[in-house]
Structure 1
Amino acid sequence: MTITDPARLEDLFTRTVDEHPVQFVRPADTDRPTWAAYEGGTYLGTVNAEPDGSRPRWRVQTTHEAHDDLDDAVRALRRPASWPREREQAAHWARRLLADDSLLAVDVETTGLNNAYAVQIAAVDRSGIVVFNEHVRPNAVLEPAAVAVHGITPERVASAATFTELLPRLTDVLHGRTLVSYKADFDRGVFERELARHHGDPAAAGQWLGRVRWEDAMVPEAVWRGLWSVKRGAYRNQPLGGPHDAVADCKLLLAKLEQMAATVPAPRW
């Protein structure tokens, strides 16, 4: 349930977040949209609703950060005590990547989610220069649900080059590089599937992939944001939030790395 009008909320209400009930209590000395949050009788912290167009922003009082969703504000309140240290580790990871001269952000748009083939492949270097961007004729069914996400139609790729035709350029661009991707196991899996189809040999695909270094940004970014899911016992993965154009998503990923790398370390007492 999305809360669009906090004024309609009661002074005392319960909301289930990640399958765990959280009680919200408005302090008796105010009529402002402010609630103290309790879980299992333990005080988590206080959240305030602030107007922001048609939907409120939920600000965590102790950290002053704002969230679009009340559930995410609760997840921020649930952070383990180790989060500042883990966030700094994620920031250090991002700094290390951005200091790597061989770094490329890579994104692949595909025919679907399962056993997918590429319809667009892009690679962008750490300065934002596009070093590869091609649509790909997949020679496979392009699922309507995938088209609805990225807008690449069968007609758009009907005359595009195949992966086999693009492979020499991809080899020149990618081999010897560090590749960072958002959910790297998915993008790497697409490459592995394409290479196996091209070579007719999974071992040859593995040899090609062994000449690049893959880094996954999804988990470090989830740690950096610190939205703790008690259901999963882990930080909640977030969508990249891009337009599902391979180049634009690569540039957004690099911007996220810059944001993570710029994190000021927490003071050590």
Structure 2
Amino acid sequence: MRFVRPEDTERPTWAAYEHGRYLGTFHARTDSDGLWHVQTVAERHTTLDDAVRALRRPPSWRQDRARVAHWARGALNDPALLLIDVQTTGLGRAWAVQIAAMDRTGRTLLNELLNPSHPITHTASRLHGITTSRVTHAPTFAELLPALTGILLGRRCLAYNVRFDHGVLTRELLRHHRDPSVVRAWLEACRWEDAMRPAAVSKGLWSANRRTYRNQRLGGSYDAEAKCHALLRSLQHLAGHG
């Protein structure tokens, strides 16, 4: 490691390099709980070692990335693979306003706007562009459910942050069926997997605060079909790092 301090700064600042590769910039802070502020990832750490770890890949990274590549290639070769994305009325415990599903070839099997029977928050609308008035005459989740069941059941369902998408579908199914056992049976008829963790491993940036690989944004517009396309591209990228 090599640390270089720029001359044109009013506070203790160092740029860190490893074998000539720029890692990031660290600021020494005395006005907060975290002494070392990592500019690139906006984290604060009490020790310089932890600040460096936030930008440095761990020793096991190459092996971890190879395992991710093997997993991604297996997913892309699985004819049961289905990429899923759900857009919602809000950022918390919300209802579905758009659901898209895509196969491993990039063919869209489902891309449907939904009437959630609940207002869509302004925050959510600013992200995905879907307003309450736009979905007034769209089908409800209950009306879409037969088609959704035919597409999802028995498939390997992959989402980016699957906990969120799975949670939305769980709430919608509970609202419709009102029987947790029926909902559980429906969900267990699919194989659910998360692509966010493998993407974090492949990138390799370490979160010293969370003691795991740092999650990465998927990117792309907040449209369910566009997110499925972005997820497919991400999976293809992961598969290429064997």
TM range (shorter): 0.7 to 0.9
The Cα offsets for residues 200-244 of structure 1, whole Å up to 9 and x where unpaired, read as 112211111111111100011000001111111111101111201
- The aligned residue for residue 149 of structure 2 is 171
CA distance in 2, matches of 1:114, 1:254: 25
1:122-201, aligned counterparts within 5 Å? Answer: 122-201=100-179
**TM-score w.r.t. structure 1 length?**
0.74
Contact preservation (8 Å) 1:36, 1:46: no
Contact preservation (8 Å) 1:105, 1:123: yes
CA distance in 2, matches of 1:116, 1:71: 29
CA distance in 1, matches of 2:124, 2:21: 38
Contact preservation (8 Å) 2:54, 2:207: no
Match of 1:215 among 193, 198, 221: 193
2:193 is equivalent to residue 247 of structure 1: no
- Residues 164 and 92 of structure 1: CA distance in aligned 2, closer, same or farther (over 3 Å): same
- Residues 47 and 124 of structure 1: CA distance in aligned 2, closer, same or farther (over 3 Å): same
- The aligned residue for residue 88 of structure 2 is 110
CA distance in 1, matches of 2:235, 2:175: 33
Contact preservation (8 Å) 1:117, 1:190: yes
2:222 is equivalent to residue 262 of structure 1: no
- The aligned residue for residue 212 of structure 2 is 234
Contact preservation (8 Å) 2:100, 2:228: yes
1:79-118, aligned counterparts within 5 Å? Answer: 79-118=57-96
Please tell me the residue identity of whatever aligns with 1:87.
R
CA distance in 2, matches of 1:8, 1:239: 34
SS of aligned partner of 1:243: coil
The Cα offsets for residues 103-134 of structure 1, whole Å up to 9 and x where unpaired, read as 01000000112221100000011111100010
Gaps spanning 5+ residues in structure 1: where? 1-6, 15-23, 25-34, 38-43, 50-57, 59-68
CA distance in 2, matches of 1:138, 1:238: 29
SS of aligned partner of 2:186: helix
- Residues 187 and 220 of structure 1: CA distance in aligned 2, closer, same or farther (over 3 Å): same
CA RMSD of aligned residues (A): 2.5
CA distance in 1, matches of 2:103, 2:226: 13
- Residues 75 and 137 of structure 1: CA distance in aligned 2, closer, same or farther (over 3 Å): farther
The Cα offsets for residues 15-70 of structure 1, whole Å up to 9 and x where unpaired, read as xxxxxxxxx2xxxxxxxxxx444xxxxxx554449xxxxxxxx7xxxxxxxxxx74
Identical counterparts, % of pairs: 48
- Residues 144 and 89 of structure 1: CA distance in aligned 2, closer, same or farther (over 3 Å): same
Gaps spanning 5+ residues in structure 2: where? 1-5, 25-38, 43-51
